[in-house]
Amino acid sequence: MRLEMMDQTLGFDNTIEGIHQAVDYVKRTIEETRLHLDYMKIDGNEIYDDFESYLEERVTQVQFIKVELKTKKQMVLSIVESMHEYVQRVIPEINRLNEEFYGNMNKPWDRLIELLQGCEWIIEVVDILKIPGTDYNEIKNYSQLVTLTEALQKQFSELEQAMNNTDMVLIGDILKYEILPIFEEFQISLS
């Protein structure tokens, strides 16, 4: 298999030992350059975590690995941009969801769970932005993002209680009057 990183291409055997050598090489390079691993593109598939297991499962098939590294600033800005893109996509979905919970339609539980997973991701992202040594001046409205994340976490428990009670109107209300405004504020803060 070939591994490309920082304009260098190296060859490694398609064995477990070869994978370990490749991963060790990547780790050493990251340590030496103080860059951060964004993702590995393995035979065209972008893999963002658990690279070693992914490679081991495909040990005999892997042909090409491209390692994408970024500076801390690039990583932070990339994370913030991903969060902004998610927020823009989810606002219309929240509007649709709250209307469906108010109406007599089939309740979109799967989509509500996806929304909750997205909210958890937002909370994790803001936590990830607490990378030691980060200059928070690079992150526009960072303190506002933290405040909004705390408000979002508070709404989780209320929404969970409404879900446990299958209170459809309350679910719709929480989505419309609590969660939607938080996401609209996220959108403003991230713009």
Query: Using CB atoms within 10 A of its CB, is residue 191 exposed (0-12), middle (13-18) or buried (19+)?
Result: exposed
pLDDT in tens, 43-95: 999 998 899 999 999 999 999 999 999 988 888 888 888 999 999 999 999 99
Do 175 and 129 share a structural domain? yes
- CA 72 to CA 31: how far, in whole Å? 13
Print the domain residue range for 43.
2-70
Do 100 and 65 share a structural domain? no
* Residue 128 pLDDT greater than 70, yes or no: yes
Rg (CA), the chain: 21
Do 59 and 119 share a structural domain? no
Q: Which of 70, 93, 126 is the last residue of a domain?
A: 70
Do 88 and 64 share a structural domain? no
Do 164 and 80 share a structural domain? yes
Consecutive H or E run containing 132: none
Do 126 and 109 share a structural domain? yes
How many structural domains is the chain composed of?
A: 2
